[in-house]
Structure 1
Amino acid sequence: MRLRPRTLTSRLALLLATLALLAGTIAGVAATFGIRAFLMDQLDNELHQASARNITLKSPYGDSDHDRDNRGGDPASNAGLPPGTITGQVSNGAITELVVAADLDGDHLPTAADRAAVQKVVSASDPRTVRLPSLGDYRVLTSRTPDGAQLVTGVPQGRVDHTIRELIVLETVVLAVVVLLVAGVGAFAVRRSMRPLQHLATVARRVTQLPLESGQSRIDVRAEELREPTEVAQVGRAMNAMLGHVDLALAQRDESEQRLRDFAADASHELRTPLAVARSHAELLREYTASTQLPEQVHRSLQRITDETGRMASIVNDLLLLARLDREVTERREDVDLTWILLQAVDDARVTARDHHWGLTMPEEPVLVRGDEEQLRRLVGNLVANVRMHTGEGTVATCVLERNGDRVILRVHDTGPGFPPELLDQAHLRFARARHRQESIESTGLGLAIVQAVARSHDGSLEITSVPGDTTVTVILPVSPQE
């Protein structure tokens, strides 16, 4: 499996190190070849000087008494040549003599393999590199004396090769140090230049943690302004402009929602008394006309007026409750036993919805929640009523109450048709109802909205999962601190 750097900082540092390695390698190779060429030129100069000296020493027409004294009358003498220099004579294309100028022990005769190696280049007129099996690499040059004799002169190439090897080792060490320094310094520089981006990421994470879905939400987080003409500074300014725009939009949304809530609360409050009066008069008329011979249509109309005014009064009360919950107004805070409330709600459902099969699972000991008892009764009642109103005959409904650590979990499960897919994510919104059920089911669409509002006012939450035949509504509340 290939390991790839995960962060941009490590990638850029690796890129810098790679570029440094590539540039250093190219420079090192070029320098090595250049220095080797220079050293080989020097070696060739030494070779030409040694060849000229060899011609002088081997020529029977020495140009000075000093040369003749050095030769001592021996045509094979290598006096005056650098140590390690090889000299030889060629006769009819074959080497007849090949000796080495030694440091201490005098001249040494090369082996037959050495002669064979030199034999291959005697016809060349320019310096050639020859590897002698017993002596190593030599730079060899063939030349002629004034009397026409052909001589071979060679100088050892080991010094050049040794220098190049040391140079390569030195370049490798220096290149490794440079690459490590470039990687370290590059990582530091890149990390430092990336700090503004890290700050932007921190700002973005803080924004995602803000409760923007609730009312009175504000985005008071801003990125640090950089007065630089860099791309990072431009991103920071663009992010601040975007956050400011979103903050303004949220403020306008909150203001609009608040006006709507105020209107609903004021309208509901103003409608309570007229509705109560209208319902009272309708009931009074029903009592007076109960024994009167009036058309059946009149009796049905009076009954309809009574029912609808009652339904409107229920909607008004629900809207007033939601308005109080929106303002986070909780009437009372006390320890409330949810087991007793749930038991009563299920018992009532078994009477009012006999065509359903009701199940109840809860602990024997009380489960206490700190909150408003009336609101919690409304929460449990709405959950049970939701099953009763939106499921058909024979539906199995199971209510489960349990404690999990510092949380109380209330689940209401049913085997009904479930929520329509388009409604599932909006079921907790006000007046949320499936279109194909509005005429057949008398529902205000406020039941689960009240459940969620009550749960939130008690620091809890609402969760809904639903597929046909398997629907679960879960309310999670904190346990009372007294437990």
Structure 2
Amino acid sequence: MTRRSWTLRRTLVISVAALLAAGLIVSGFATSLALRSFVYERLDAQVLESLNFISGPGGAGDLYDRRGPSGGSDGSDASGGSDGTGPGQRVGSLQVILDADGAVIASAYIASDGTKIALSDAQVETLDAAGLVPRTPTTVDLGGDLGAFRVASESAGGATVIAGNSLDDVTATTDALTWILLSVSALTLIVVVVVLSLVIRRNVRPLERVAAVAEQVAEQPLAQGDVEIRERVAARDTDPHTEVGRVGSSLNTLLGHIEAALTARQHSEQQLRRFIADASHELRTPLASIRGYAQLSMGEAAPMTPTQQRSFDRIAAESERMSSLVDDLLLLARLDAGQPLRREPVSLAMLAIDAVSDAHATDSGHDWRLEVGEDAIEVPGDENRIRQVIANLLRNARTHTPAGTVVVTSLREHDGDAVLEVTDDGPGIDPAVRDRLFERFARGDHSRNRDAGSTGLGLSIAEAIVTAHGGAISVRSEPGSTVFTVRLPLLQS
């Protein structure tokens, strides 16, 4: 899932959790550094205190003056006095006294059980080679079982005194704190994420209800027909004092405006349909009268001038064309009004054969071909209207393609539908016209040759009839190949 597909709730939870995790990491790191610095300061103070004790009266200076460089190396006199009356050394501390030549006068490490253990020669050499700066604590790793120490040195009475404390306690303290911080931070992060998810879910719920209303409206077909938008955002989600409330209130206002606009559109369309139907119905009678009088005048044997003869011919032709246009407009008005069509079994194969035969008889200049299988393909519908669809598609091919064009009418079954295709190898349809080809009074005159005029209603009538039968009509075109496809649901046995 990509970042863009995240919901608002997921984005908020993850963003806040990431910020909290970053804050916990920074605070934990800062706490660890602060504690480490504090513990090191305390340890350095203890090292310097031990160094002062060893270098003071009765310490290394007196020991070196009394016993000389050959003093014992078991550390028995390096504890603060030869009589053992001085304060005891801390567990994990070490003390080393070297003479002027670097020989070991005394060395001791206080183990966890309180016993004194003399340092090995290698460990003493490591301390001597560490380049210790007087009274400056430095970390030195002695290896073995001793590990790292914080040590400091000082010259006293001709001897070099080295004191140090083990870093085991510091390491243990900082490690323990680190684990505590990690555990507390992880637990805090989990608790915060859970609580935050619940809080955000609760606060985003009004927005989800508003989105649900918008989705319900979006699923409604608003392009045509009588539309009524009943969905509205509930009053509890329209509080103008909240962001979601303002969105809900605005959506309600918008839906009201859309419903009013759609109602006005539907009313206007109904008025227009009634006007077209009434006008078409009223025009049929006078047009029939005009055509009849024209034919009556031309049928008389009375002599007429060439102008009169041509005028009567044009009157008859145009009245016939206008009558066809009126019939088409009246048919569209009835289909738009939802006038029910007949539902009876219709054999598409027989209609295709008849339509191709009629087209060949009307225009032999085109190459009319038919591809129909032996299987009977039947659909439920109005035979005359489906016949009109096929005839309109073939007439469209004849009108808008030059002579010699191959026009193929094919019929097959596919996915429970009857698929009828009319294909021609003409010049194709201009893409600018193709997108509005099924609109009323749309013409493809600019892209395809035409030998006769057309009203531009043939394809829109074909689409209206196919849609009324529960089917669909489409076109795809390029130079040398134009295909009109009609899909109609098959007759269920």
TMscore range, shorter length: 0.7 to 0.9
Q: Which amino acid aligns with 2:127?
A: V
1:446/1:104 CA distance change after superposition, 3 Å: closer
How far, CA to CA, are the matches of 2:4 and 2:384 in structure 1?
A: 58
Per the alignment, residue 65 of structure 1 pairs with none
> Alignment partner of 1:462: what SS?
strand
1:56/1:233 CA distance change after superposition, 3 Å: farther
Per the alignment, residue 427 of structure 2 pairs with 417
Q: Which amino acid aligns with 1:403?
A: E
Whether the 8 Å CA contact 2:370–2:409 is kept in 1: the answer is yes
Per the alignment, residue 401 of structure 2 pairs with 391
- Deviation for aligned residue 1:100: 2.0
- Deviation for aligned residue 1:210: 2.8
- Deviation for aligned residue 1:123: 4.6
Per the alignment, residue 479 of structure 1 pairs with 490
- Deviation for aligned residue 1:344: 1.0
**Within 5 A, what are the aligned runs for 1:297-446?**
297-434=307-444, 436=446, 441-446=452-457
CA offset digits 1:322-364 (Å, max 9, x no partner)? 1110111124222222222221111111100111111111232
CA offset digits 1:307-328 (Å, max 9, x no partner)? 2211111111111111110111
How far, CA to CA, are the matches of 2:207 and 2:489 in structure 1?
A: 39
Whether the 8 Å CA contact 1:58–1:75 is kept in 2: the answer is no
1:162/1:297 CA distance change after superposition, 3 Å: same
TM-score by length of 2: 0.84
Per the alignment, residue 285 of structure 1 pairs with 297
1:358/1:122 CA distance change after superposition, 3 Å: closer
- Deviation for aligned residue 1:228: 6.0
Pick from 118, 136, 160 the counterpart of residue 109 of structure 1.
118
> Alignment partner of 1:393: what SS?
coil
CA offset digits 1:225-276 (Å, max 9, x no partner)? 3426444443444444333333333332222222211111110011111111
1:468/1:213 CA distance change after superposition, 3 Å: farther
- Deviation for aligned residue 1:76: 9.0
**Within 5 A, what are the aligned runs for 1:162-177?**
162-177=172-187
Pick from 227, 232, 239 the counterpart of residue 227 of structure 1.
239
Q: Which amino acid aligns with 1:29?
A: F
Per the alignment, residue 257 of structure 1 pairs with 269
1:464/1:219 CA distance change after superposition, 3 Å: farther
CA offset digits 1:371-394 (Å, max 9, x no partner)? 222222222221222112222200
Whether the 8 Å CA contact 2:80–2:86 is kept in 1: the answer is no
Alignment of 1:463 with 2:471, yes or no, is: no
Per the alignment, residue 167 of structure 2 pairs with 157
Per the alignment, residue 23 of structure 1 pairs with 23
Unaligned runs of 5+ in 1: 62-67
> Alignment partner of 1:269: what SS?
helix
The worse-fitting range, judged by mean Cα deviation, of 202-211 and 52-61 is 52-61
Identity of aligned residues (%): 34
1:57/1:246 CA distance change after superposition, 3 Å: farther
1:421/1:88 CA distance change after superposition, 3 Å: closer
Whether the 8 Å CA contact 2:96–2:162 is kept in 1: the answer is yes
- Deviation for aligned residue 1:411: 0.9
The worse-fitting range, judged by mean Cα deviation, of 98-107 and 353-362 is 98-107
The worse-fitting range, judged by mean Cα deviation, of 415-424 and 436-445 is 436-445
**Within 5 A, what are the aligned runs for 1:132-151?**
132-134=142-144, 135-142=146-153, 151=161
The worse-fitting range, judged by mean Cα deviation, of 438-447 and 370-379 is 438-447
> Alignment partner of 2:116: what SS?
coil
> Alignment partner of 2:346: what SS?
strand
Question: After the TM superposition, which segments of 4 or more aligned residues of structure 1 sit over 6 Å from their partners?
Answer: 68-73, 75-79
> Alignment partner of 2:312: what SS?
helix
Alignment of 1:100 with 2:116, yes or no, is: no
- Deviation for aligned residue 1:74: 3.7
Whether the 8 Å CA contact 2:59–2:81 is kept in 1: the answer is no
CA offset digits 1:428-462 (Å, max 9, x no partner)? 11111245589953211110111111111111111
- C-alpha RMSD of the superposition: 3.3
1:78/1:213 CA distance change after superposition, 3 Å: same
How far, CA to CA, are the matches of 2:148 and 2:138 in structure 1?
A: 10
Q: Which amino acid aligns with 1:81?
A: Q
1:4/1:304 CA distance change after superposition, 3 Å: closer
- Deviation for aligned residue 1:117: 3.4
How far, CA to CA, are the matches of 2:184 and 2:488 in structure 1?
A: 67
Q: Which amino acid aligns with 1:246?
A: I
> Alignment partner of 1:275: what SS?
helix
> Alignment partner of 2:403: what SS?
coil
Q: Which amino acid aligns with 2:6?
A: T
Q: Which amino acid aligns with 1:442?
A: G
Whether the 8 Å CA contact 1:58–1:76 is kept in 2: the answer is no
Alignment of 1:129 with 2:128, yes or no, is: no
How far, CA to CA, are the matches of 1:169 and 1:331 in structure 2?
A: 81
